[in-house]
Copies of this chain bind each other. A is one copy, B any other.
Amino acid sequence: MTEGKAAARLPAALESRRGDVEGALLAILPAEGAEPRDLVAAMRYSVLAGGKRLRPLLFLAGAEFSGPDRLPDDAIEAAAALELLHTYSLIHDDLPCMDDDGLRRGRPTCHVVFGEATALLAGDALQTLGFELLATRPAGDARAARRARAVAWTAEAIGVQGMAGGQALDLAATGAVVPDAERAGLLRRIHSLKTGRLIRLSLELGALHAGADAGRLRDVSRYGEALGLLFQIADDLLDVTQTSATLGKTAGKDSIQDKLTYPVVFGLEGAFRERDLALAAAREAARDLEGDAGLLAGLAAFAAGRDR
């Protein structure tokens, strides 16, 4: 999406770190022209297509109020791993056998440019590279237990009971007849797994590397859960209220594909109400973490305000 047109903005303290995230992504991706040439080009094309870098910034936000430890410099490369994992999921979701989408961030999708086989491998290799970074950054023997835990949490969040599972539920639900009484529950479950888990995880990993204790981690998870929901409701609303040019991806796609979304299940006004409930929950969780500091509350406002 184009941030300039959005009503809300990312909090300045996070916005100012986006350049560091871009630098980290350039540092961790294979160099331009490296072998295997097509695969490397496809990975770079999709990762370096712009975007808010939301998940790495959430990692940094999660570290901010959660623990006593200052993040070492190379933690930014662990944060950047989350962008690789997000990009892997986008590349595979866009493939013809999945959502068959030709436009993403205002550009042709990976398989349109590089072919399906290379796009498939680019997604595969980005998942792998994400895990490699989480297993090696931040460096140092003293941090090995946190790194191993980061890999385990991430795998749980993106695997069969997480992001990939949400995608599978979405596939099964698309075009299927879901009884009315089950629609809201199924929708929440799909969204929570498909998008919410990775957003929550990003905050949790920052907290983990900042040395958060169990109580603090619970608060971070609660905030992350609400924030993830907020982003997803807002995304569903964007799909019906914006044009493709503004979105940078195909608009109205959800309804064409008969997807289960908040506007479909709750109606447009109902979806806005759900959005406001999630915003209130995120603000309350933010207060427990940061007091009146405002960074996490600002993030919630950003998530909610993108469609107004």
Interface residues of A (CB under 8 A from B): 30, 35-40, 43, 92, 95, 97-98, 115-118, 120-121, 123-125, 127-129, 131-132, 134-136, 141, 144-145, 147-149, 151-152, 155-156, 158-161, 164-165, 167-169, 171-172
Contacts and interface: CB of A to CB of B under 8 A. Distances in A.
Contacts of A125: 159-160, 164-165
B128 A160 contact: yes
A155 B169 contact: no
A54 to B, nearest CB: 21
A164 B97 contact: no
B155 A132 contact: yes
A164 B35 contact: no
B164 A124 contact: yes
Contacts of A169: 35-36
Interface of A is mostly: helix
A38 B165 CA distance: 10
B171 A155 contact: no
Which of A38, A121, A129 has its CB near the most chain B CB atoms (within 10 A)? A121
A43 B161 CA distance: 13
A135 B156 CA distance: 11
A168 B36 contact: yes
Q: Which 3 A-B pairs have the closest CB atoms?
A: A132-B155, A97-B116, A135-B151
Contact of A118 (B40, B134, B136, B168): B168
Contacts of A164: 39, 121, 124-125, 128
A140 B31 CA distance: 37
B141 A145 contact: yes
A159 B36 contact: no
A132 B120 contact: no
Given A124-B164, A132-B156, 15 more contacts: A35-B165, A36-B165, A37-B172, A38-B171, A38-B172, A39-B164, A98-B117, A123-B124, A125-B165, A129-B159, A132-B152, A132-B159, A135-B135, A135-B151, A144-B149
Contact of A160 (B39, B115, B152, B155): B39
Contacts of A161: 30
Contact of A172 (B36, B95, B155): B36
Given A136-B152, A148-B135, A151-B135, A168 B38 contact: yes
Contacts of A43: 160
